[in-house]
Structure 1
Amino acid sequence: MNTKHDPVKKQTVISRYKSGEPISHIVQDTGIPRSTIYNWLKLAKATETSRKEPTLQNLRLLENKVKRLEGIIEILKAADCSPKDPLKVKLDALEKLQQQHTYSVHMICEALEVPRGTFYNHILRNKRENTSYVEHRAKLREVIQRIYDESNQIFGYKKIFAIMKEQGHHTSPEMVQNLMREMGLKSIRQGAKSTYKKEQRKFNNHVNQQFTVTRPDKVWVSDVTYFRFDDKKFYICAVIDLFARKVIAYRIGKSNSTQLVKATFRAAYENRCPSQSLIFHTDRGTNYRSNSFCAYLKSLGVTQSFSKAYTPYDNSVMESFFSSLKLEELYRSKYRSENEFRTAVDKYMIFYNEQRPHDTNQNKTPARKEREFYRDCKGRSVVSN
């Protein structure tokens, strides 16, 4: 279907390849894409095969060739452009066709004469820059979480994909598997026995989803999330006091390390100076379970609490906070520099504590609820004296 090169040039290229010349030399000398040359070689081989004595194998080859050519014709009819259009136009058309999940990437690239590597680079670049892609992933995560919870955490990615497909959600098994891995979701069937045994030995959960507490500095929760900016991952660690849902410390790092969570906790501890017993609740991330961090908390007399394995609801306060941070700030903005990104996070933390009403606080801000608590305590102290 290629009309860009004349038959003489095609035959010359094929002859050079058959004579033993490396294809990389031919590409460099002629400027013809590698994928185009391979296509010519396949067509030449199919033609030679068809000239031989008819066999069942030859017949199948011819049938496959006809199907491929028919598919290419369908793609050219469905596309909003032709192979002669500029590359940018063809890439946009290819992306639309690929999203329909009707044609293979190989075939649509062949039809519009675009190297597959070029197309994949275009898709990856768009995904990093496209807010709609990020929002689409966020919606898929919500659906996955719902189906996972409704199955009592039994279903793995294959069953969840089958249900999503039946419900009309456009995705793929690989996408569901990757998102579940990011979310820390795993079928409880996998390693259920070993998980049960581990639960009996350590990682006590002192919170057990009881997120309502009677005073500040009684229970702190923490977690780490990441945000990709300028082709780099930035990890945000935060500590929240459960009493008023107030962010009492946060740090941004370039790696999800023990040093990051330790620095964040130290900032909270030195700022608040808790005088009574304190529980520090997190998931089972390796940074929170490291020997150095556990020893540090023990030296301060802090009781460490962990979520159950594969149970995100055990730390849902942090999940909810990071969701708000991303949906209300990070996903809505395009930052021009790392400094601008960090400044935006700083401003959001102030907004979250000082200006944003919280449902759990009867629509009071975290800062206001905490101030009222200490004001009431002071009033009771004056009365008793």
Structure 2
Amino acid sequence: MARLMRLHGIAAARCRIKSRARAAPPRRRPEVVDLVRRRFTVPVPNRLWFTDLTQVRTGQGWLWAAVVIDAYNREVISWATAARDTPGTVLIALNDAVKTRRPAAGCVIHSDRGYQFTAWDWLNTARSARLQVSIGERKSCYDNAVIESWFASFKNEEIYPKGNPFTRSEARARMFNYIWQYNNHRLHSSLGYRSPKDYAAQSSTCP
């Protein structure tokens, strides 16, 4: 694919890089550290999850979307949306992930330093589910590259080519369809060009 793109002068459309506001400074929650250190692969499911929040522009205003991904097979295991930026959105996604997977004690949930992920509600919810909370460094997108890459793929493959959704309902529907296609059919280079579902199905450690 890369060779053919170079041959025909085709380049992927990318959005403008925007600064990420409202990141909590290191002095907030100094007891929560980066447990991942950019080690993005794990041998079994439900040992390392990644999460983050993004915005989708619609004709009715912003739609906020939170997603949780399993590092094992890059599968989206839960997601939640809201019309406003509130800590509750990420909590819904986290609770859904816990109910769906029922991870063993010690599973790491990694995020950036967004204020939602340093709030007491987030920390208490994660710890009550026996998860280990991990956060990356401030203003370092590479620490959470797995989920950042997923959001980039979602927007570059679904949002930008087709245009912004007219309504928040349309945005939710398009996100639902993209997640289903991604989990079941999207080939992933880090999985040997298999989809997340196929990769898990072919493994004896399938959740």
Residue 327 of structure 1: aligned partner: 156
Residue 63 of structure 1: aligned partner: none
In the alignment, structure 1 residue 245 sits paired with structure 2 residue 84: no
Residue 364 of structure 1: aligned partner: 194
Residue 4 of structure 2: aligned partner: none
**Offset at 1:181?**
4.8
Instruction: Pick the aligned partner of 1:180 from 19, 27, 33.
Output: 19
> Could you tell me whether the CA contact under 8 Å between 1:224 and 1:256 is conserved in 2?
no
Answer with 1 or 2: which has the greater Rg. 1
Instruction: Pick the aligned partner of 2:86 from 227, 242, 257.
Output: 257
Query: Per the alignment, in what secondary structure is the counterpart of residue 202 of structure 2?
Result: helix
Q: 1:353–1:181: structure 2 CA closer, same or farther, 3 Å change rule?
A: closer
Residue 174 of structure 2: aligned partner: 344
Residue 31 of structure 1: aligned partner: none
Alpha-carbon separation, structure 2, partners of 1:260 and 1:243: 24
Query: Per the alignment, in what secondary structure is the counterpart of residue 292 of structure 1?
Result: helix
Query: Per the alignment, in what secondary structure is the counterpart of residue 329 of structure 1?
Result: helix
- Matched length: 192
> Could you tell me whether the CA contact under 8 Å between 2:22 and 2:115 is conserved in 1?
no
Q: 1:209–1:183: structure 2 CA closer, same or farther, 3 Å change rule?
A: farther
Q: 1:360–1:222: structure 2 CA closer, same or farther, 3 Å change rule?
A: same
Residue 32 of structure 1: aligned partner: none
Structure-to-structure mapping, 1:124-135, within 5 angstroms? none
> Could you tell me whether the CA contact under 8 Å between 2:60 and 2:166 is conserved in 1?
no
Deviations 1:71-105 (A, max 9, x none): xxxxxxxxxxxxxxxxxxxxxxxxxxxxxxxxxxx
Residue 110 of structure 1: aligned partner: none
> Could you tell me whether the CA contact under 8 Å between 1:227 and 1:235 is conserved in 2?
yes
Alpha-carbon separation, structure 1, partners of 2:134 and 2:151: 20
The runs of 5 or more residues in structure 1 that have no matched partner are: 1-134, 142-178, 185-193, 379-385
Q: What amino acid is aligned across from residue 290 of structure 1 in structure 2?
A: A
Deviations 1:35-81 (A, max 9, x none): xxxxxxxxxxxxxxxxxxxxxxxxxxxxxxxxxxxxxxxxxxxxxxx
Instruction: Pick the aligned partner of 1:204 from 21, 27, 33.
Output: 33
**Offset at 1:274?**
1.3
Instruction: Pick the aligned partner of 1:289 from 118, 123, 145.
Output: 118
Q: 1:370–1:338: structure 2 CA closer, same or farther, 3 Å change rule?
A: same
Higher relative contact order (CA 8 A, sep 6+): 2
Alpha-carbon separation, structure 2, partners of 1:293 and 1:180: 23
Q: What amino acid is aligned across from residue 130 of structure 2 in structure 1?
A: G
Q: 1:220–1:200: structure 2 CA closer, same or farther, 3 Å change rule?
A: closer
Counting strand residues as a fraction of each chain, which structure ranks higher?
2
**Offset at 1:348?**
0.3
> How high is the TM-score relative to the length of structure 2?
0.85
Alpha-carbon separation, structure 2, partners of 1:201 and 1:285: 14
Residue 5 of structure 2: aligned partner: none
Deviations 1:271-323 (A, max 9, x none): 11113421000001111111112111111211100001221100001110000
Structure-to-structure mapping, 1:118-129, within 5 angstroms? none
Query: Per the alignment, in what secondary structure is the counterpart of residue 180 of structure 1?
Result: coil
Identical amino acids, percent of aligned pairs: 24
> Could you tell me whether the CA contact under 8 Å between 2:22 and 2:114 is conserved in 1?
no
Residue 309 of structure 1: aligned partner: 138
Supply the RMSD in Å over aligned alpha carbons.
2.3
**Offset at 1:346?**
0.7
The runs of 5 or more residues in structure 2 that have no matched partner are: 1-12
Alpha-carbon separation, structure 1, partners of 2:45 and 2:153: 22
